[in-house]
Amino acid sequence: MTIKLHEPLLIVEDSNEDFKMLQRLMRRMAVKNPIYRCTSGDEVLEFLYQEGNYSSPDVAPRPCVILLDLNLPGIDGRDILVRLKQDTNLRKIPVVVFTTSSNPKDVELCYQKGANGYLVKPMDAHELQKIVQAFVDYWLEVNTLPTFN
């Protein structure tokens, strides 16, 4: 098993409360990956294309996985997913949707547009911990990704 300890994780989450909870849980799980955060769809694009405030790989490294909220200010998470999966340079980055929406239409749309996973944010803290642990175990420890060029 290859543990990708130093590969960056990009969390796209506009809620400070939700992001802080994710950070806390991952710290408790001893996640060593650097965690980067974007709070809007526009910021995600700047980060991934290394534009604006993110104009260098030191500030905006290529993430090994993106945890994407759907309901974002500016460009919506659904549109971000479409753009990423249409871009030949970014499409290999796994995108795991992490949202409050359990709407079957959202689930279907996200998988049709290339999402690699879909997780529904639970209201219960214990359930959230189980979901985040499963995400960490699979995407940051077990899963093997293609090499990025």
List per-residue pLDDT tens for the chain, 149 residues long.
Answer: 344 557 899 999 999 999 999 999 999 999 999 999 999 999 999 999 999 999 988 899 999 999 999 999 999 999 999 999 999 999 999 999 999 999 999 999 999 999 999 999 999 999 999 999 999 999 998 888 777 65
Residue recorded with tokens 């030191």: 58
Cα-atom radius of gyration of the chain, to the nearest Å?
A: 14
Domains of the chain: 9-142 (3.40.50.2300)
Q: 61 and 8 in contact (C-beta within 8 Å)?
A: yes
pLDDT of residue 148: 65
Q: CA-CA distance, 127 to 102, in Å (whole number)?
A: 15
E strands of 1-149, at which residues?
9-12, 35-38, 65-68, 95-99, 117-120
Prediction pTM value: 0.93
